[in-house]
Structure 1
Amino acid sequence: MAHPVDVHVGKRIRHRRWLVGMTQQQLAERVGIKFQQIQKYETGANRVSASRLWDIADALDVPVSFFFEGIETEGEDQPKAENVPADILGDKEALDLVRSYYAIPENQRRRLFELARVLSDVA
């Protein structure tokens, strides 16, 4: 059985890769490994070594600490917003929405954000 930390790190690798629009193959090429290894990392089946995690962080343009964010609160009872998946970054539609949102110019993005807040308060 995979260690929970390995699973968490793998999820964070996958989420960041999706967020930047990179395929497993592209990430593997940047790191110098086979894409199957990326698959194993992302599922937590294989543990990521420190040096490999360093290379992955560099390829995904995040600090190594990014992969450990949220791990201390995982599994704790926390108030959750209704209709929001516990693992929102695991939802492909949510990631696509975030990617599209950040592609919008900042002034228009702010207006869209305010509109979304108003609509969610009404619902």
Structure 2
Amino acid sequence: MKHPVDAHVGQRIRHRRWLMGMTQQQLGDAIGIKFQQVQKYETGMNRVSASRLWDIARVLDVDVSFFFEGLGAEAAEHEAAGSEMPRDLMADKEAMELIRSYYAIPEAQRRRLFDLARVLSDVA
């Protein structure tokens, strides 16, 4: 049975890998394991050791603490009634694709798009 912490860490690995446009095979090759092991980490079926998590963080260009962000606070953040945000924003494919597309836009245009989105959400 998977532990909720292992599932959370695996989910954070998967989302960061996806945001970087990296395949499981590429991540596995970069840290010296097979893609099937990456799959097991991402589903939470296998625990990620501290040294392996360190290697994954280096390849995915994040601090190790990134994988634990939001742990325990997830339920409290989404209890507000009427919230239209998904319970797990990082698990929402549409949101992830939007984020990936957003960061593909050159910085100056991205800033203007961000300002426009903020104005639109304020008047909604």
* TM, length-normalised to structure 2: 0.90
CA distance in 1, matches of 2:81, 2:9: 22
- Give the aligned partner of residue 87 of structure 1: 88
Aligned CA-pair RMSD: 1.6
Task: State the secondary structure of the residue aligned to 2:76.
Answer: coil
More moved, 55-64 vs 67-76: 67-76
1:107 paired with 2:122, answer no
**Structure 1 pair 81–88 and aligned structure 2 pair: CA distance change class (3 A):** farther
1:73 paired with 2:76, answer no
Cα deviation, residue 25, structure 1: 0.7
- List alignment gaps of at least 5 residues for structure 1: none
Q: How many residues align?
A: 123
Cα deviation, residue 122, structure 1: 3.4
1:41 paired with 2:27, answer no
Cα deviation, residue 80, structure 1: 6.9
CA distance in 1, matches of 2:102, 2:112: 11
Cα deviation, residue 119, structure 1: 2.3
**Structure 1 pair 47–80 and aligned structure 2 pair: CA distance change class (3 A):** farther
Structure 1 runs of 4+ with >6 Å offset: none
- Give the aligned partner of residue 51 of structure 1: 51
Residues 66-101 of structure 1 deviation map (CA, whole Å, 9 limit, x = unaligned): 101111313336437732111111112211111111
Cα deviation, residue 55, structure 1: 0.8
- Residue identity over aligned pairs, in percent, reads 72
* TM, length-normalised to structure 1: 0.91
CA distance in 1, matches of 2:26, 2:82: 35
- Give the aligned partner of residue 11 of structure 2: 11
- Give the aligned partner of residue 21 of structure 1: 21
Residues 13-64 of structure 1 deviation map (CA, whole Å, 9 limit, x = unaligned): 0010011111111101101101011111001000001111111111111111
